[in-house]
Amino acid sequence: MSGTEAKRIGVYPGTFDPITLGHRDIIRRGAKLVDELIIGVTTNPSKNPMFTPEERMEMVTAELAEMEIANARVVGFDALLMKFARKQGASVIVRGLRAVADFEYEYQMAGMNQQLDDEIETVFLMADVCLQPIASKLVKEIAIYGGDITPFVSPAVRDQVNARVETIGKRGDY
């Protein structure tokens, strides 16, 4: 990249509660498409988060370090995505798709986001086939009911989720 070319910045937004192997796959692949990938950890009280925004940022930062992706960083935000993306200098929003239901929702969001700022493109990446069923909500539910989440998250995240479940109490222990 010469000194006159603009740096291509992408934003991969999400709650990451917790970060899953599916998220890691999208981060790894998304980082190849841009000069810098900002993983935007957002608040979303409607999703009933298990972890605080600060804990989620720390979790994603640790996963990023373990993945050794040099052109990515974690930033927290609590604002409209397009305002956040513009503030970061992003020209691309990276979104992962698992299934048709994801596409319908993401397609509508991309249309709304384009209305808010038509200079920022949304790029959809299909989740790896073996990772498509993974969703943070389901990972939490499996853990809360005493199931093994090892196939869905890294060992470090598994330990954090299991520790949190121990503090809030498992269900299904009867």
Measure the CA–CA gap between 93 and 110, rounded to whole angstroms: 9
* Residue 166 burial (CB count, 10 A): 10
Number of domains in the chain: 1
Give residue-wise pLDDT tens across range 70-91: 999 999 999 999 999 999 999 9
82 within some domain: yes
Type of residue at 110: A
For residue 60, CA distances in Å to 24, 76, 90, 114, 163 come to 9, 11, 20, 27, 17
Please report, for the domain that includes residue 131, its CATH number. Answer: 3.40.50.620
Cα angle at 7 between 106 and 110, to 5 degrees? 10
Measure the CA–CA gap between 37 and 73, rounded to whole angstroms: 7
Buried b / exposed e along 94-106 (16+ C-beta atoms within 10 A): bbbbbeeebeeeb
Give residue-wise pLDDT tens across range 35-84: 999 999 998 777 789 999 999 999 999 999 999 999 999 999 999 999 99
Would you please indicate which residues are annotated as catalytic (active-site) residues? 23, 47, 98, 136
27 within some domain: yes
69 within some domain: yes
Domain that holds residue 20: 9-168
For the cut 50, the answer to whether the pLDDT of residue 174 exceeds it is no
